Amino acid sequence: MHKEAYLVKELSAGAVQCQACEHFCALKPGESGKCGVRRNIDGTLYLLVYGDAVAVHVDPIEKKPLFHFMPRAEALSIGTYGCNFHCPFCQNWQMSQMRDLDERGGSGRRRHMPEALVDACVRDNIPVIAYTYNEPTVFFEYTYDTAKLAHQQGIKNVYVSNGYMSQAALDMIEPYLDGINVDLKAFTEDFYREQCQARLEPVKRNIAHMARETDIWVEVTTLLVPGLNDSEAELRAMASWMAEVDPDMPWHISAFHPDYEMLDRPPTPGPALLGAYDIGKAAGLHHVYVGNVMDTDRGSTYCPQCGERLIERRWYSVRELWSDPGACPRCDESLAGVWS
Ligand code: SF4
């Protein structure tokens, strides 16, 4: 359904500027933004997919991935259509790149309104709602209303995001957002411009701001695409920057597999993943993980002080090896994260 947008600036002659993400689309009446799900209708900006979750699943929180956030918790995970990025390697492109909304996202769909989502969590004792599958910023109003209601019931909220939200959007959602996994897709402006039609700098700004100046728990994911973002120099620069922001910020290095428009490249070779892992550790990051492959050693969590294994993961099978979550049983070091 349509919902009037919360973050908008009026321009002249019925035009409006969406303030939700760093594209700041200026839209004349009848025009839609780059994300495809926000449209100027007769001088008013609307979100077109409010309540229209097209994917609703209960996932383990580890699948987001969030490894330092309520281990083994279930997360009611929702997504809509649309995205403000157009990455040719998107692994969820059927949802993110859908633009045929009048046909697919209009009236007649079964709605999942915020109240119903929160009621379902209360009924089934689900402690987290994840806004995921496609970029949550593009369905901001839906996430905001749901997150606010969720907090009233003691339910936590997490985003899985490309990190391209505006400062205004971040400020507005911040009191209700408990955790986020941000895709840091590469570490060059060229990559962001050519592959995503976006910019790197706002993503860095948002990661640093959230990690340093808010209570939002931040983890970062990088999909390692052969030949595109996997040079040693680029990965070193990325890892050093993350370690400077916060060495406790977990970094997930994820294996690429050919998808959507990028079918001409091989999957990420195992040695490249391991090399990136070593680069992250050498840069001073305390928690580096490899993803999309079975690797218990590099998918488990260790005490940064004494090296004791604290959480063991085999795919989504998770075993906590501590009796006091967040504290190393061997040396008593506190582990950064949200543990309850
Ligand atoms: S959320 Fe959509 S409409 Fe708004 S600025 Fe971003 S791409 Fe444009």
Residues 221 and 238: beta-carbon distance below 8 Å: no
- State pLDDT tens for residues 38-81: 999 999 999 999 999 888 999 999 999 999 999 999 999 999 99
207 alpha-carbon distance from chain centroid = 11
Residue bearing the CA closest to ligand 1, atom 6 = 21
Instruction: Give the confidence band of 91 by pLDDT, cuts at 50, 70, 90.
Output: confident
Determine, yes or no, domain membership for 128. yes
Question: Prior bond to 65 cis, omega within 30?
Answer: yes
Q: Does 18 contact ligand 1 (Cβ within 6 A)?
A: yes
Residue 3 pairs in a beta bridge with: 47
Residues 181 and 221: beta-carbon distance below 8 Å: yes
> How many CA atoms lie within 13 Å of 243's alpha carbon, on the beta-carbon side?
16
Look up the CATH number of the domain holding residue 292.
3.20.20.70
Ligand 1 mean position, distance from CA 287 (Å): 33
Q: Does 63 contact ligand 1 (Cβ within 6 A)?
A: no
Determine, yes or no, domain membership for 340. no
Ligand 1 mean position, distance from CA 106 (Å): 19
Q: Does 99 contact ligand 1 (Cβ within 6 A)?
A: no
Cα distance between residue 291 and residue 274, in whole Å: 11
Give the number of the atom of ligand 1 that is nearest the alpha carbon of residue 23: 5
Residues 6 or more apart from 205 whose CB is under 8 A from it? 167
For residue 260, what pLDDT is reported?
75
- State pLDDT tens for residues 275-309: 999 999 999 999 999 988 889 999 999 999 999 99
CA angle 25, 161, 296 (to 5 degrees): 160
Determine, yes or no, domain membership for 201. yes
Based on the domain organization, do 78 and 135 belong to the same domain?
yes
Based on the domain organization, do 7 and 63 belong to the same domain?
no
- State pLDDT tens for residues 213-240: 999 999 999 999 999 999 999 999 999 9
Based on the domain organization, do 15 and 135 belong to the same domain?
no
For residue 89, what pLDDT is reported?
81
Ligand 1 mean position, distance from CA 100 (Å): 17
Structure tokens at 29: 């009446």
Based on the domain organization, do 143 and 286 belong to the same domain?
yes
The separation between the first and the last C-alpha atoms of the chain, rounded to the nearest angstrom, is: 35
Residue bearing the CA closest to ligand 1, atom 1 = 138
Residues 6 or more apart from 97 whose CB is under 8 A from it? 83, 86, 90, 260
Residues 239 and 249: beta-carbon distance below 8 Å: no
Determine, yes or no, domain membership for 336. no
Give the structural domain span for 173. Answer: 55-320
Instruction: Give the confidence band of 101 by pLDDT, cuts at 50, 70, 90.
Output: low
Please name the helix (run of DSSP H) or strand (run of DSSP E) that holds residue 80, with its range, or none.
Answer: none
Ligand 1 mean position, distance from CA 24 (Å): 6
DSSP-derived letter for residue 251 is E
Given a cut of 80, whether residue 99 has pLDDT beyond it is no
- State pLDDT tens for residues 105-164: 544 456 899 999 999 999 999 999 999 999 999 999 999 999 999 999 999 999 999 999
Determine, yes or no, domain membership for 139. yes
Based on the domain organization, do 38 and 115 belong to the same domain?
no
- State pLDDT tens for residues 178-227: 999 999 999 999 999 999 999 999 999 999 999 999 999 999 999 999 99
Residue bearing the CA closest to ligand 1, atom 4 = 18
Ligand 1 mean position, distance from CA 62 (Å): 29
Residue bearing the CA closest to ligand 1, atom 2 = 35
Based on the domain organization, do 101 and 180 belong to the same domain?
yes
Strand order across the beta sheet in which 38-41 lies: 3-4, 44-47, 38-41
Strand order across the beta sheet in which 26-27 lies: 8-10, 16-18, 26-27
Residues 6 or more apart from 179 whose CB is under 8 A from it? 66, 69, 156, 157, 158, 159, 216, 217, 218, 219, 338
Instruction: Give the confidence band of 95 by pLDDT, cuts at 50, 70, 90.
Output: confident
Based on the domain organization, do 16 and 100 belong to the same domain?
no
For residue 110, what pLDDT is reported?
67
Quick one: which of 277, 94, 237, 83 has its CA closest to 165?
Answer: 83
Structure tokens at 158: 């997490």
The fraction of the chain above a pLDDT of 90, given in percent, is: 84
Cα distance between residue 100 and residue 93, in whole Å: 13
Determine, yes or no, domain membership for 331. no
332 alpha-carbon distance from chain centroid = 31
Q: Does 16 contact ligand 1 (Cβ within 6 A)?
A: no
Q: Which long-range contacts (CB under 8 A, 24 or more apart) does 308-316 make?
A: 310/335, 311/67, 311/71, 313/62, 313/67, 316/60, 316/62, 316/63
Which stretches does DSSP call E strand in 192-298? 217-224, 251-255, 288-291
- State pLDDT tens for residues 234-275: 999 999 999 999 999 999 999 988 877 778 888 898 999 999
For residue 263, what pLDDT is reported?
80
Residue bearing the CA closest to ligand 1, atom 3 = 33
Based on the domain organization, do 10 and 59 belong to the same domain?
no
Give the number of the atom of ligand 1 that is nearest the alpha carbon of residue 32: 3
Based on the domain organization, do 294 and 249 belong to the same domain?
yes
Determine, yes or no, domain membership for 334. no
For residue 111, what pLDDT is reported?
86
Q: Does 38 contact ligand 1 (Cβ within 6 A)?
A: yes
Quick one: which of 198, 196, 200 has its CA closest to 187?
Answer: 200
Site to probe by mutation for ligand 1, drawn from 11, 50, 83, 84 as the one with most ligand atoms within 8 Å of Cβ, is 84
Based on the domain organization, do 15 and 119 belong to the same domain?
no
Ligand 1 mean position, distance from CA 99 (Å): 14
Q: Does 35 contact ligand 1 (Cβ within 6 A)?
A: yes
Based on the domain organization, do 39 and 108 belong to the same domain?
no
Determine, yes or no, domain membership for 250. yes
> How many CA atoms lie within 13 Å of 258's alpha carbon, on the beta-carbon side?
7
Please give the mean pLDDT across all residues of the chain: 93
Based on the domain organization, do 80 and 145 belong to the same domain?
yes
Cα distance between residue 92 and residue 16, in whole Å: 29
For residue 117, what pLDDT is reported?
97
Give the number of the atom of ligand 1 that is nearest the alpha carbon of residue 36: 2
Site to probe by mutation for ligand 1, drawn from 34, 39, 99, 196 as the one with most ligand atoms within 8 Å of Cβ, is 34
For residue 100, what pLDDT is reported?
62
Structural domain count of the chain: 2
